[in-house]
Structure 1
Amino acid sequence: MSSDNKLPVVSVITVVRNDKEHIESTINSLFAQDYPNIEYIVIDGASTDGTYEILNRYRDRVDILISEPDNGIYDAMNKGVMLAKGDYVGFLNSGDEYANSKIISTIFAKLDNFADVIYGDSIEISDKGEKYIKAADFSLMEFSPVYRHGSSFTKKEIHKKYMFKVDNKKLGYSLDWDSIYSIYKDEHSFYYCKSVIEKYQQEGISSNGYMNAWYNYLITASHGKKIPKLFYYCKSIVALWVKTNK
């Protein structure tokens, strides 16, 4: 990690297990960044497919590299947050890449609004090609995520207060949204940087719109106002059904 004391230090965390096909492109995407104050942390879940051997080749360019069993992706992400020394924390998990080599410097070297959470847009990559995913209007935050977790940076001390609740099995793959929503409900500041931050691989189960809507309801309703949130959930289900049955 090089240093420019005038700029925030950004801790980027990559979580991986048995993904030798994608891990190298992910870490090279980080190494290509021209921002001087990056701390890079890689948490490997004791890979057995050759992933760790690839990571080990880059050990001298990674600030912290850990390979050990964990209790799933959110447990590994929590480990990374606890190890981070930067001012902000961001996640670039295996298979994902930054949109370009200047995106971190675009945000932290050129912006003067250092909110508690800085978020932006994404590009989804699938068999059909690339799809631009613009962050939704922030007014919808009361009911559902308006941005993808990987397309954001959160102040480290804020993130440490809102760790992923790995013991909550009811929320499945939505513990990141649970953390974000708690930050939002406690009235921390958010800033939309109007830039594409990451490209990500379309995922199987987490691309299930019906499950996403259900998890959104469980998370938001746990903070009160269940009736309007139930109405929003039902509206989302109807919209999904219409879309998939055209």
Structure 2
Amino acid sequence: MRPCLSIITVVYNNVKDIERTMLSVLEQSYPNIQYIVIDGLSTDGTLEIINQYKDRIAMIVSEKDNGIYDAMNKGLALATGDYVLFMNSGDEIYSPDTVEKVFVSSPDADIYYGETEMYDENWVSLGRRRHRSPDRLTFKSFRYGMSVSHQAIYIRRSITSPYDLQYALSADIDWILRSLKKAKRIVNTNRYVAKYMVGGMSKKKHRQSLVERFRIFTKHYGLLPNLFNHIFIAANLALYYLRHGRTND
């Protein structure tokens, strides 16, 4: 029996990118997908594009929300699949056979993960993320930064919980860490599984995002270990910037 994957797309006024994201889901070769689209009451034509594909989407919600993580919680509450994956507007599943290959990589994991390729706003590839995926993912893997992107992790729905809305920009990190603590079997698919468009609110409000991340890592790892880890992070970031001239996640 093939597990059911609930894929959730959250969008608000992104008529430029929504169709590309949706097609990356709808064109998957894997047959057992529940696709949920949560729209924040868009006014730019986004909803009209979504509705063009309504016969192929399990659920469409279009209403005002209290931010991206509130919208993601709505999707999570509607999901009934064995696993959940968030693929928000602007991002893509890597290729049409990606979900198929994720699930054949190893049976019955609590978490599957892979690598992410970064793209700019003109959809030009920037290569792999600075934080490459670890060979073996554990709860401790995030202590030096977000080692797996949100779009590249498939989590068994039964070990997930709602996003903590006290974090406006980085609740996804806390959400993944809480799931990692509960996971007994974590599988590296050893492949690219997602394409991520850089930018978003965490880049526009970078300082607030960093403060939130520090709070989250302190909560999960402790204050003193987190302080030492951030010294290491700062040194690595400076070295990376000197070598590459960019600091994409």
- TM-score when scaled to structure 2? 0.86
Aligned to 1:175: 171
Name the CA distance, whole Å, in 2 between partners of 1:71 and 1:124.
Answer: 28
Name the CA distance, whole Å, in 2 between partners of 1:221 and 1:136.
Answer: 21
Q: Does the 8 Å CA contact 1:181/1:220 hold for their aligned counterparts?
A: no
TM-superposed deviation, 1:215: 3.6
Name the CA distance, whole Å, in 2 between partners of 1:206 and 1:174.
Answer: 7
Aligned to 1:163: 162
Taking a change above 3 Å as real, the CA distance of residues 191 and 216 of structure 1, as seen in their structure-2 partners, is: farther
SS class of match (2:20)? helix
Aligned to 2:33: 38
Spell out, residue by residue over 1:98-128, the C-alpha distance to the aligned partner (whole angstroms, 9 max, x if none).
Answer: 11100000112x2333221111100100266
SS class of match (1:223)? helix
TM-superposed deviation, 1:207: 4.4
Alignment of 1:236 with 2:237, yes or no, is no
SS class of match (2:8)? strand
Taking a change above 3 Å as real, the CA distance of residues 205 and 72 of structure 1, as seen in their structure-2 partners, is: closer
Alignment partner for residue 117 of structure 2, among 102, 105, 123?
Answer: 123
Taking a change above 3 Å as real, the CA distance of residues 129 and 223 of structure 1, as seen in their structure-2 partners, is: closer
Q: Residue type of the partner of 1:154?
A: I
Q: Residue type of the partner of 1:178?
A: D
Q: Does the 8 Å CA contact 1:12/1:38 hold for their aligned counterparts?
A: yes
Q: Residue type of the partner of 1:197?
A: V
Name the CA distance, whole Å, in 1 between partners of 2:25 and 2:142.
Answer: 32
Spell out, residue by residue over 1:162-184, the C-alpha distance to the aligned partner (whole angstroms, 9 max, x if none).
Answer: 21011x1xx33110100111222
TM-superposed deviation, 1:7: 0.3
Spell out, residue by residue over 1:45-73, the C-alpha distance to the aligned partner (whole angstroms, 9 max, x if none).
Answer: 00000100111111111110110001111
SS class of match (1:240)? helix
Alignment partner for residue 77 of structure 1, among 61, 72, 75?
Answer: 72
Q: Residue type of the partner of 1:218?
A: R
Taking a change above 3 Å as real, the CA distance of residues 86 and 187 of structure 1, as seen in their structure-2 partners, is: closer
Spell out, residue by residue over 1:114-161, the C-alpha distance to the aligned partner (whole angstroms, 9 max, x if none).
Answer: 2211111001002663312331353651513220011111111111xx
TM-superposed deviation, 1:245: 6.2
Alignment of 1:28 with 2:23, yes or no, is yes
Q: Does the 8 Å CA contact 2:110/2:183 hold for their aligned counterparts?
A: no
Taking a change above 3 Å as real, the CA distance of residues 233 and 40 of structure 1, as seen in their structure-2 partners, is: same
Aligned to 2:134: 136
Taking a change above 3 Å as real, the CA distance of residues 21 and 190 of structure 1, as seen in their structure-2 partners, is: same
- 5 Å-filtered alignment, 1:172-211, equals 172-186=168-182, 188-207=184-203
CA RMSD of aligned residues (A): 2.2
Name the CA distance, whole Å, in 2 between partners of 1:191 and 1:215.
Answer: 28
Alignment of 1:100 with 2:95, yes or no, is yes
TM-superposed deviation, 1:235: 2.4
- TM-score when scaled to structure 1? 0.87
Q: Does the 8 Å CA contact 1:121/1:147 hold for their aligned counterparts?
A: yes
Alignment of 1:220 with 2:187, yes or no, is no
Aligned to 1:47: 42
- Of all paired residues, the percent bearing the same amino acid is 34
SS class of match (2:85)? strand
TM-superposed deviation, 1:31: 1.3
Aligned to 1:152: 153
Name the CA distance, whole Å, in 1 between partners of 2:128 and 2:240.
Answer: 19
Name the CA distance, whole Å, in 1 between partners of 2:56 and 2:228.
Answer: 50
Structure 2 unaligned blocks of 5 or more: 244-249
Q: Residue type of the partner of 2:162?
A: M
Q: Does the 8 Å CA contact 1:210/1:237 hold for their aligned counterparts?
A: no
Aligned to 1:61: 56
Q: Residue type of the partner of 1:175?
A: A
SS class of match (1:122)? strand
